[in-house]
Amino acid sequence: MNIFEEDLNDTITFWEKIKNIFRGKSLWMLHYCTGCGAVELPPTMTARYDMERLGMGPMATPRQADVLLITGYLSVKTLRRVIYTYEQMMTPKYVVGFGSCTLNGGIYYDSYAVINRLDYYIPVDLYLAGCMPRPEAIMNTFKTLENMITKGEANGWKKYVENYDWYRNNQIRSLGEVYVKDEFHE
Amino acid sequence: MNSTNDTKELISILEQSFDIKDFTTPKKNEISIVVDQNNVPTILTYLKDKGWKQLSLVTCIDWIEENKFELAYVLFNWTNGITFLVKTKIDRKNPEYISIIDIFPGARYYERDIHEFFGVKFEGNSDFEKPLFLELWDDKPPMRKDFDPLEYSKRKFPDRKYDVELSKNAVKEVIKEGEINERT
């Protein structure tokens, strides 16, 4: 831990640093498996790789989760639910995009149902290379994310608040007015 | 029970009473017939009576050069395990057809599916116009052959920009530098 003397005088920075260290050490990720990258998560969680030793665990509800994993391609219909889920999460919240589909659409670049680029709609803190990523890559990414949070570099949630109009306009451009219509629960 | 004899008999009856344009057996235990569009409900009722009680699938094929939509009804018989395909062609410009939900109620959702992806209207199905999969769709039905998904994707979803020329120049410069180093 690097605590410098000038930090002790600057209370906000100091306590923010302490908070960031705690935030980085206990990550609860939301299991909203949107695409094929999610199949690599079970081996990462189970005995061989055992992701819990890094202080990460699965969490079922958005309100208690810290990390949202977008594991692969996102259809337009799913993106609407993902935005709701993301907005339900408490700050600070972080987004990790898996594979090429979240970056530029991947093999779905000309699909009418799949979005091309995730970071137009929600801010992405970290991209994870590989299609699909190996468990080692996932562990590496989470270690990187942990370091980023500890240093205070994972600021996607702040960006989302500051540039909300821009994100909102992009969402409306691709999705139309955002609302969920579900005839089975009418 | 010998199922092959039964089906031969059935085919001969069908050929006598209806105008069957084509009859093939694409696979073992699979019979496919092409019929006139007016005969489809009668044939489906007849086949349901004969044991083809399950409607496995209703689907549509776009033959854009012929200017036709082909509707395919896949029926399954649980007693002898024979699949029956009933196909018919309808006009592509103004696609309308009769709903078969009176014969097979499960066709309700298949018809909604076909209306959404191909734009075929089904007379007699009360909610074929309700959207099922695509939310807020604002283009021509996406499974038609003349629908251009890339154009739609470019219009609807913003693309990531890559500076191709810049990267090409960078590669050329690296190669030039390498050549110079080799000479010296």
Q: Is A103 on the interface with B (CB under 8 A)?
A: yes
In this structure, are residues A111 and A175 in contact, taking their beta carbons and an 8 Å threshold?
no
Domain ranges of chain B: 3-156
- Residue type, position B67, single letter: N
Q: How far is A174 from chain B (nearest CA, A)?
A: 5
Distances (CA, A) of A62 to A57, A67, A85, A152, A183: 13, 9, 6, 22, 24
**Tens of pLDDT along A40-90?**
888 988 888 888 888 888 888 999 999 999 988 888 888 888 998 999 999
Over its length of 186 residues, how does chain A's per-residue pLDDT go in tens digits? 566 665 555 556 778 888 888 888 888 988 778 888 888 888 988 888 888 888 888 888 999 999 999 988 888 888 888 998 999 999 889 999 988 888 888 888 888 889 888 889 999 999 988 888 888 998 898 889 998 888 888 888 888 998 999 999 888 888 887 666 666 666
Q: Is A42 on the interface with B (CB under 8 A)?
A: no
Q: What is the pLDDT of residue B174?
A: 74
Helix, strand, or coil (residue B71):
strand
Domain range B3-156, its CATH number among 3.40.50.2020, 3.30.460.80, 3.30.1280.10, 1.10.579.10: 3.30.460.80
Where helices occur in A113-155 by DSSP H, the ranges are: 135-151
Over its length of 184 residues, how does chain B's per-residue pLDDT go in tens digits? 455 567 778 888 888 888 888 888 888 888 999 999 888 999 999 999 988 999 999 999 999 999 999 999 999 999 888 999 999 999 999 999 999 999 999 999 999 999 999 999 999 988 888 888 887 888 899 999 999 998 998 888 887 777 777 777 777 777 777 776 665 5
Q: How far is A173 from chain B (nearest CA, A)?
A: 7
In this structure, are residues B118 and B133 in contact, taking their beta carbons and an 8 Å threshold?
no
Q: Determine whether the interchain pair B158/A173 forms a contact, defined as Cβ–Cβ distance below 8 Å.
A: yes
- Residue type, position B47, single letter: L
Q: What is the pLDDT of residue B59?
A: 94
Q: Parallel, antiparallel, or unpaired for β B68-76 and B83-91?
A: antiparallel
A68: closest CA among A111, A117, A128, A11? A128
Give A120's contacts in chain B (Cβ within 8 Å).
158
Residue B132 tokens, joined? 């099922």
Q: Is A175 on the interface with B (CB under 8 A)?
A: yes
